Amino acid sequence: MRNANKMTLLGAMLMTAVSAQAFNVKGTIVDKTTKEPLIGATIQIEGTTTGAITDIDGRFELSNLKGNNCTLVIQYVSYQSQRITINAGQKEELVIALAPDTQTMEEVTVTARKNLENERTLQLERQRSSVAIENLGAKEMSVKGISNVEEGVKKITGVSIASAGQIIVRGLGDRYSTTTLNGLPIASPNPDNKLIPLNLFPTSTVKNITVSKVYEANAFADYSGAHIDIGTKEQTGEDFFSISFNTGGKFNTLGREMYRMDHDGTLFKTPSLNSQLREMSLTDFEDYARKNTLFNTSFDVSKKNALPEFGGNIGIGKNFDLGGNQRLSLLASLGLSNEQQIMMDASVRTLEATGTTLNDFNYDSYANTLKIAGLGSLGYSFRTRDQLSYTFFYARNAIDTYMYREGYDYEDHNLIGSNSVTHIYSLQNHQLSGKHFFGEQWNLQWGGSYSQTSSDEPDRRQIMFIREGSELNLFKLNRQETMRYFGTLDEKEWVGNLMGEYKFGTQNKLQAGFTYKDKSRDYFSTRFYYNLNKLNPTIGSIEDIYTPSGYLNQESINNGQVVINRSQQPKDSYAAGTKIYAGYILADIYPVDALLVNVGVRYESSRQWVNYAEDGGTQQRRELNSDDLFPAMNLRYQFNKKNNLRLSFSRTVTRPSFIEMAPFLYQESYGSAQIRGNAELQNGYNYNVDLRYEFFEDNGDMFSATAYYKHLENPIEQIQQLSGGATIHSFKNANNGMATGLEVEFRKTLAQELRLGANASFMYTDVKLPEGGAYTNTERALQGASPYLVNADLTYSPRFGETRQLSAALVYNLQGPRIQSVGISGLGDVKQQPVHTLNFAGSFKFSEKVAVKLQVNDLLNQPVIFKQEVPSTGEKVEVERFKRGSSFEIGITYTL
C-alpha cells in the first residue's frame, strides 16, 4: 500500500512537470486525394488567437504551447475544415489530410485559387480547370534551374523560342499569341514583336506561368497560338525575409578579353541625345556641328578581361492581422544580375540564285547585359472572402553588344566593321483589382492596369574600314558606313475589366463582363552620317580599328575634314494607337455531372490607327477598324476522377502590328535586312479545333495527348525582295493557311523521389503566299515552325531528416529544323538546323534558412547552324553559324 502511494505521488509530480513544460507541434497539410501539400492553409488553436499558415511545402510549426493538450482547427479554401486534439507528449510530425469540398472544387477555373506555386497544386488546378491549360510553378522552375519566364515557357508542350526572343506556339509566330500579367494585358516595348520579351520576368518574382492554347470568351480574342499568363508572387504564407547571391559565367568568356566601344556611364543609365540637336533646323545644325562637340562618346574600343557574373535577390513578406476578418499582406522583391558573353568565329553570308556568295562575313561578338527587376504586392482581405490587391512590377534589361566583322560585300570589297549596339528595354506596370462576394450566389470582380514600356537604342555606332593590299583605310563608298543612330519607342497601355458572376444549381455559373483597352505608341529616330571624303589619314597610320579617335576627332570636324550630316526625315517617326471595347457572356453548365459545357461569345470593337509619313514626306493616316463576334465552346467530359476528355471550338483574330502598318524603313546595321510596313494590311481570322485526353494519378503522375487543327483565313505573312546587297522585308495578307499537329505529355514517378517528365510536339503547317514577293516558293511551312519539338527532364529530390533536401535535375530540349527566312530570287528557304540543349540544376537545402545551388547550362555546347537550299545545284549551303557557349552558376540563399 505504501509503495502504491509512492507511485501515485510520483505520477502526479510527472504530470505536473509535463503540464508546466511548453511543447511544439509540427506538421504538413496535404490534399486527402492527391497527397499534394496545401499552401496557405490556416492552423489555429481553438479558443485562442495563436495560429500558423502553411508554407510552400504545406508545412507549419506552432511553438511554446502550454498545457497538457490543445485542439487544432485546420481550414483551407475549397476544403472541409478539420479539428484535431494534440497531446503534449506528441513527438511525431503530423500529416493532416483535408478532403476537398466537392461542390466548391467543381467550380474552380484558371484563376480561382491563389498562391499556386507547387507542382502538384498546379496539376490539380489543371485537372479541374474549365478549359485546357498547362502550367509551371515557382517551385518546379527552381528545381529545374529556370531563371526567367522565357526559359520557362520553352518547357511547355509545343512552345519554342526563335531569334530575338520570338515565341512560336504550334508553329504559329509571335503575332498569334498574347501575354498577360495577372490576367491583364501588358504592352510590348519591342517594335518587331507583339509579345513583351519574356526574359524581363525573372522567376524570383513569378508565382506561376499558365499557358492556354484554346480560347475562352473572357479573354481578348487576338490569339490562336497561346495565351501566356504570368502570375506574380503575393504574400499568403508566413512572414519571411530572404536574400540570395549567385556568381558564375560562361566557360568561353571568363578571363578572356572583352571589347566594348566607348560608353557614357554604365548600363544603369540610359544615354540620351541632346534634344537641341534634334529640334534645331538643318542649317543651324550644320553650323553648330562644325563648332561644338555633339556626343559624349567616340568610336574608340576598349578591352578588359571578363570577370565572373554576379547576381542577387532580396525579398520580404509580412502579414498584418487587423482584426474583424481583416488582414493586410505585403510582399516586396528586388533582383539584380549581370551577364557577359563572347561568341568567336561566328559567320554569316548571303547567296544569289546560282549559289554564288554575295556577302560573306566572319564576326566576333561581345555582349554585356544588366538585368533589374522589382516587384511589390499589397493585399487586403476583409469581410469573409472579399479582397483588394495592388501590384507593381518594374523591369529593365540593358544589353550592350560590340561586334567585330570582317569579310567581303557583294562588290568584293574586303571590309572590316566596328559596330556597337546598346538596346534597353524597360517596363513599369501598375495593377489594382478587387473581388467581392454577395451571398453564396453573386460575386463581382474588377481590375485595372497601367503599363509604360520603352525600347531605346541610344547611340548605335558603326565605322567601316577597307583592306587594300596590306593597308587598312576608311571605307567611304556611300557616306553611310560611318554613322550613329538614336531611336526611341515608348508605349502606354490602359486596361480596365469588370465582371459579374452568378452561380446557380450545384455547379453552374454565368459570367458577364466588359473590358476596355487603350494603347498608344510613339516612335522616332535620328541618324548622323559622317562624311569622311576629306579625311585622309597618313598612309599606314591606321594600324587597327580600335583607336580611330587619333584622326576621327573634334579637331578634324572643326577644320572641315569631317562633316556630320543629320538625317531626320518625317518617315523616321510614327505615332500609333488602338482602342478595344469588348463585352462577353460566358457560362459553365453541367447538363450531367460528368459533362461541363463552357460556352460563350465575345464582342470586340477595335479601332487601330497609324500616323506616318511617306518617303516623300507627305503625312498619312491608316485606320483599321473592325467589329467582330468571337464564339468559343470548351467541353470537358470526366469518365472518372482521373480521366478527362476535352473538346474546344473557337474563332479568333490576328491583327497587324503597328510597325507592319507603317511603311517606313527600319535597318539595324549596314548590310542587314530592311523592314518596310504595308498600309494595306487587313485582319486575319482563325478557326480552331482542339481535342485532348488527360489522365491524372493521385501521386502526381499524368499523361495527356492533344490533336488540333487551325484554319488561317487571310494570314499576315512576311514577303521579301532584294535591293542591291540588302534584303527588304514587308508584309501581305495571304489567301489562307493551316496548322495541325499532335502533342503528347507525361510525368511518371520512377522510384521514390525520382521523377521523369517529357513532352513532344509533331506539327504540320502550310501557307499559300500572296502575290508581290520575290520568294522562290509560293507555298511553304509557316516561318519559324518546327516539325517537331521535344522536352524531357529527370528530377531527384530526396529528403534527409526534417529540413535537409537535395534537388537535382537534368533538363533536355530538342528544337527541330525551321525556316528562319524565306528564300527569294530562285534561292530556297534559310533553315535553322536542329538544336539539342542539356542543362543541369542542383541545389541542397541545409536547413530552413540556408540553401545552395549549382547550375550548368548548355552542356552539349552545340553550334547553331543555318543552311540555305540552292535549287539550281541541289546543294544546302551553310549561311550562318554561331555558338553561345556553356555556362555555370553557383549561389546561396538565406531565409529568415
Query: Using H for helix, E for strand and C for coil, what is the string for 677-720?
Result: CCCCCCCEEEEEEEEEEEEECCCCCEEEEEEEEEEEECCEEEEE
**What is the pLDDT at residue 38?**
78
End-to-end CA distance of the chain: 56
pTM of structure: 0.84
Contact 818, 162 (CB under 8 A): yes
**What is the pLDDT at residue 36?**
63
> What contacts 402, CB < 8 A, 6 or more positions away?
259, 260, 261, 301, 365, 366, 367, 418, 419, 420
Q: What CATH number should be reported for the domain holding residue 609? A: 2.40.170.20
In a domain, 139, yes or no: no
Interatomic CA distance for residues 402 and 461, integer angstroms: 10
- Nearest of 664, 656, 633, 671 to residue 717 by alpha carbon: 656
H or E, element range at 386: strand 386-408
Question: At residue 355, what are phi and psi to the nearest 5 degrees?
Answer: 95, -5
Sign of torsion, CA 127 128 132 138?
negative
Each residue's pLDDT tens digit, 243-272: 999 999 999 999 999 999 999 889 998 888
CA distances from 128 to 102, 386, 730, 840 (A): 11, 23, 44, 32
> What contacts 18, CB < 8 A, 6 or more positions away?
68, 88, 89
Sign of torsion, CA 190 193 198 199?
negative
Instruction: Say how many C-beta atoms besides its own lie within 10 A of residue 468's C-beta.
Output: 11
H or E, element range at 276: helix 275-279
Based on the number of CB atoms within 10 Å of its own CB, is 569 exposed (0-12), middle (13-18) or buried (19 or more)?
A: middle
Q: Position of cell 547567296? A: 351
Interatomic CA distance for residues 863 and 880, integer angstroms: 10
Residue that is last in its domain, among 103, 130, 165: 103
Reported in sequence order, the residue ranges of 724-834 that DSSP labels E, i.e. its strands, are 726-733, 736-751, 754-768, 779-780, 788-796, 799-800, 804-815, 818-821, 830-832
Interatomic CA distance for residues 432 and 539, integer angstroms: 66
Residue that is last in its domain, among 103, 123, 158: 103
Helix or strand or coil: residue 167?
A: strand
**What is the pLDDT at residue 109?**
34
Rg of the chain on CA atoms, in Å: 31
Residue that is last in its domain, among 68, 103, 138: 103
- Nearest of 669, 745, 646 to residue 704 by alpha carbon: 745
**What is the pLDDT at residue 666?**
62
**What is the pLDDT at residue 658?**
85
**What is the pLDDT at residue 143?**
86
Beta bridge partners of 704: 694, 745
Interatomic CA distance for residues 686 and 663, integer angstroms: 26
In a domain, 221, yes or no: no
- Nearest of 144, 38, 112 to residue 793 by alpha carbon: 144
Interatomic CA distance for residues 193 and 728, integer angstroms: 18
**What is the pLDDT at residue 583?**
97
Contact 174, 195 (CB under 8 A): yes
Which range of residues forms the domain containing residue 887? 244-895
Please compute, for residue 703, the number of CA atoms within 13 A of its CA located in the half-sphere on the CB side.
4
In a domain, 128, yes or no: no
- Nearest of 515, 493, 480 to residue 221 by alpha carbon: 515
Contact 446, 261 (CB under 8 A): no
**Ranges of H-type helices in 483-561:** 554-558
Sign of torsion, CA 723 726 728 729?
positive
* Cell reading at 104: 466548391
H or E, element range at 602: strand 595-613
Q: What CATH number should be reported for the domain holding residue 44? A: 2.60.40.1120
> What contacts 633, CB < 8 A, 6 or more positions away?
597, 598, 599, 600, 648, 649, 650
**What is the pLDDT at residue 772?**
63
In a domain, 835, yes or no: yes
**What is the pLDDT at residue 28?**
86
- Nearest of 787, 589, 793 to residue 143 by alpha carbon: 793
Reduce the secondary structure of 121-161 to three states and give it as a string: HHHHHHHHCCCCCEEEEHHHHHHCCCCEHHHHHCCCCCEEE
In a domain, 150, yes or no: no
Q: 227-232 and 178-181 as β-strands: parallel, antiparallel, unpaired?
A: parallel
Based on the number of CB atoms within 10 Å of its own CB, is 670 exposed (0-12), middle (13-18) or buried (19 or more)?
A: buried
Question: At residue 473, what are phi and psi to the nearest 5 degrees?
Answer: -130, 165
Contact 177, 655 (CB under 8 A): no
In the DSSP assignment, the letter for residue 548 is G
Based on the number of CB atoms within 10 Å of its own CB, is 584 exposed (0-12), middle (13-18) or buried (19 or more)?
A: buried
Interatomic CA distance for residues 306 and 315, integer angstroms: 29
- Nearest of 451, 456, 454 to residue 519 by alpha carbon: 451
Residue ranges in the chain modelled with pLDDT below 70: 1-21, 33-36, 56-57, 77-78, 100-116, 163-165, 191, 539-540, 665-673, 721-727, 771-774
Beta bridge partners of 210: 135, 229
Helix-strand-coil split of the chain, %, nearest 5: 10, 60, 30
**For the chain, what is the domain count?**
2
In a domain, 152, yes or no: no
In a domain, 818, yes or no: yes
H or E, element range at 275: helix 275-279
Interatomic CA distance for residues 744 and 639, integer angstroms: 20
